[in-house]
Structure 1
Amino acid sequence: MRAAVRGRVLLPGDAGFDAARRPWNLAVEQPVEAVVEAADADDVAALVRYARSAGTAIATQPNGHGATGRTEGAILLRTRRLDGLEVDPAARRARVGAGVASGRLQAAVAPHGLTGLPGSSPVVSVAGVALGGGLSWFGRAHGWVADSVTAFEVVDGEGRRRRVTADADPDLFWALRGGGGGLAIVTSLDLALHPAPDLYGGRMLWPAVHAPEVMDAYRQITAAAPDELTAWLDLLHFPGSDPMVAVDVTHLGPADEARELLRPLDRLARPLSDGRATMPVSELGAITAEPTDPGAGRSRAELLTDLDDRSVKALLAEPIAPLLSVQIRHLEGAFARPSGSPHGPLTERYALYMFGIPADPATAEAVAAKQAAIADLLPAGGRKPFTFLNPEETAASAFAPEALARLRRIKASHDPHDTFRANFPLTP
């Protein structure tokens, strides 16, 4: 293997091997045969040819987000060094290497009054999010992250470098825009950028005693929100602090428009804090302030058809502990319109995401039980966003049966030797 690639190769017993194979979620054990840090796209192609000849699978991760531990017997490919980033402001396009984090893309395009489609965390890779479809702060205005991808540079199952577009290979292009990382290894992608001359956003935070009124205001706002406005509600209970409730917002437009749309929040009790302000698109990560270093966690997500009075009352009747957060994201807008991706349009109105820390086996069991109990209170639609799946779930939880069947046919055609091992394999 070391003769085949120019990048660093680590084997069991080598110094640094355990740290190199570790996923972002430290609650996931990730057994691998080797770790390869590719030097460039040619290195990726050489590794695929090596793996084919050795009969070994490759699991690709820039930094380990979304890892599920389904890597036994595989080579773990790290693509962090594929970090090229080219921005064409006039054409509103960017070419983004597989190792480029969302925050870096945002920092590069912000001076031009443009934006990508970032999620809540600035440290996840743009390519990884796009391969899973991708729910963005600006998805209500522009759809799935994958909908903005116009081309992929990949290495295929034969170890060949290829450019995949809607014209050159419509089936694989469709599948890569949300079908996961088991179809080819993406080395870079071309992304359409979007205008963002004005952005208003931030978090308002109250003690949890005000959660019923905050929820009422949140439902009022989301019932009439234009596509440019995104609002997320968070029930929070951090260790050592009292329970709280927050509303996180972004608005692609002037501050005065945003304040008018959010006026129901201003009629509530005085918040503990109000961080809303005009902001650059490069600072979006500060709104939710998610951790930027690896840690252990257990999550569960659902897509919700509605937030009716009965389910909301039941949700707010008990503390969320031992969970740290229960987040509700407003969808609709462009998410509900036609999409050339495996997910298709989202007819569900909201996404639910629950998170806790499995500090020990008993706590892990309690976290899972609480997540299940909350899910039972709310009207779930039956499927889940691919990037929100947890390690115990499968790709079948994310796609309609006909889309999953098509993805499996494309997988069989483009990777017949099953060289590429996705976090969530398309086939059982």
Structure 2
Amino acid sequence: MNALTTLRSAVRGRVLLPGDPGFDAARRPWNLAVEQPVAAVVEAADADDVAALVRFARAAGRAVATQPNGHGATGRTEGTILLRTGRLDSVQIDPLAARARVGAGVPSGRLQAAAAAHGLTGLPGSSPVVSVTGVALGGGLSWFGRRHGWVSDGVTAFDIVDAQGRPRHVTAGTDPDLFWALRGGGGDFAVVTALELALHPAPRLFGGRVLWTAEHAPAVLDAFRHITADAPEELTLWLDLLHFPGGEPMIAVDVTHLGAAEEATALLAPLDRLPRPLADSRQVMSVAELGSITAEPTDPGPGVSRAELLTELDDAAAKALLAEPIAPLLSVQLRHLGGAFTRPSDSPHGPLTEPYALYLFGIPTDPATAEAVTARQHALAEALPVTGRKPVTFLGAGETLADAFAPATLDRLREVKRRHDPRGTFRGNFPVPH
């Protein structure tokens, strides 16, 4: 521990060691159900601090685990120095080139607000507080992925600190293998301090949530299946089975449409022929307001999640999905994929050909509930036509990159890891398996 105290003179950002006031709060991940043991926490002041930390860790024989705010943490951090990159928060927009440069700590909502001012958009997911960099390193499923593909497909360059503590600018031309690995292979190859990515026109957006009581679930699911069967790429629908503590079961359809409200209304007509909903928030909106659709929590909390990819959503799958109440789960979400996801992608995932993603979430309030949540997730997954493969950003704490990638992809990632970080200076949330 004495060696770690010299960290305070190696970096300018805040350093917290075990026993320091605030250490336990600083090391906690976003998911409070995950225990995250670390040897120290460093809140980097800038990219130079990151480089100094990596050089220190390399000399001390320590690994660095990088997190802006702890999304996707798995607890595989024993003995590491936890690097917080939240202060690397610059956002630069080039509206003429439709490009952005964002620091590693920039949350999706900040990029969206900056891009929206120029009639542009990034590729945001459901939460405005998840870092752009973290999503891109895991591939990334966006509201607009059916139109533009993986979040990582739009990344054009990375600013990194390598395993020797050297700042580098990585592109497809400077280092194609490392660039490929960073575009969706996880955070196990370097510390990304900033990235550059393409933006897309977003002059008009129609979106929101329609909510019904669960008695209408069969009809809502049928309408969801009908609309998604031939939806244009500009239209994305997510279906949510919801059961909050103390409330009644409900079902919702969340929607975004990159286009005019009139076009969206025509495409969504099957929803409007259903019984009157409890609520309907659909409206013309800014791409900076996307977080309001699902209204996910913006503060850390405990959770147990499981994700799967579905090969189809036929009558049998629909029946299995609604066969029993989802409790003790809080939510079961179906995301419509397809479109640009199916096209060629020079990323570890490659094309995403499965038409739907399934996301199952519950809160482990106590050990018995945690066990029941896991059992219900398992039962639902077993009843549905799943592939067993899943995106990196949807992996759970007990899973590995082998649950996301084919063996040939894992072999290539191992080779990139061996060449760029042979001493294991970096440890991602999902390390490359040996």
Per the normalisation by structure 2, the TM-score is: 0.98
The answer to whether residue 143 in structure 2 is matched with residue 152 in structure 1 is no
Q: 2:42 aligned to 27, 36, 46, which one?
A: 36
Which residue identity is paired with 1:168?
Answer: T
The answer to whether residue 67 in structure 2 is matched with residue 61 in structure 1 is yes
Rounded Cα–Cα distance in structure 2 between residues aligned with 1:221 and 1:311: 17
Alignment map for 1:26-425 (pairs within 5 Å): 26-425=32-431
Rounded Cα–Cα distance in structure 1 between residues aligned with 2:264 and 2:432: 41
Q: Secondary structure at the match of 1:347?
A: coil
Rounded Cα–Cα distance in structure 2 between residues aligned with 1:111 and 1:352: 33
Which residue identity is paired with 2:70?
Answer: G
Rounded Cα–Cα distance in structure 2 between residues aligned with 1:314 and 1:151: 44
Question: Which deviations, in whole Å up to 9, do the C-alpha atoms of 1:266-320 show, x marking residues without a partner?
Answer: 1100000111000000000000000000000000000001011012112212100
Q: Secondary structure at the match of 1:206?
A: strand
Rounded Cα–Cα distance in structure 1 between residues aligned with 2:25 and 2:316: 47
Match in the other structure for 1:18: 24
Rounded Cα–Cα distance in structure 2 between residues aligned with 1:99 and 1:302: 28
Match in the other structure for 2:4: none
Q: Aligned-pair distance for 1:111?
A: 1.5
Which residue identity is paired with 2:313?
Answer: L
Q: Secondary structure at the match of 1:406?
A: helix
Question: Which deviations, in whole Å up to 9, do the C-alpha atoms of 1:351-372 show, x marking residues without a partner?
Answer: 0000000000000000000000
Q: Secondary structure at the match of 1:29?
A: coil
Instruction: Say how many residue pairs are matched.
Output: 428
Question: Which deviations, in whole Å up to 9, do the C-alpha atoms of 1:320-363 show, x marking residues without a partner?
Answer: 00000000000000000000110000110000000000000000
Q: Aligned-pair distance for 1:382?
A: 2.1
Which residue identity is paired with 1:271?
Answer: P
Q: Aligned-pair distance for 1:401?
A: 1.1
Rounded Cα–Cα distance in structure 2 between residues aligned with 1:407 and 1:266: 47
* Runs (4+) off by over 3 Å: none
Deviates more, 1:374-383 or 1:192-201: 374-383
- Aligned-residue identity in percent: 76
Question: Which deviations, in whole Å up to 9, do the C-alpha atoms of 1:102-132 show, x marking residues without a partner?
Answer: 0000011112110000000000000000000
Which residue identity is paired with 2:140?
Answer: G
Consecutive unaligned residues of structure 1, counting only runs of 5 or more, are none
Per the normalisation by structure 1, the TM-score is: 1.00
Rounded Cα–Cα distance in structure 1 between residues aligned with 2:49 and 2:158: 17
Rounded Cα–Cα distance in structure 2 between residues aligned with 1:158 and 1:427: 21
Q: Aligned-pair distance for 1:427?
A: 1.6
Rounded Cα–Cα distance in structure 2 between residues aligned with 1:45 and 1:427: 25
Which residue identity is paired with 1:59?
Answer: A
Question: Which deviations, in whole Å up to 9, do the C-alpha atoms of 1:44-83 show, x marking residues without a partner?
Answer: 0000000000000000000000000000000000000001
Q: Secondary structure at the match of 2:265?
A: helix
- The root-mean-square deviation of aligned C-alpha atoms, in Å, is 0.5
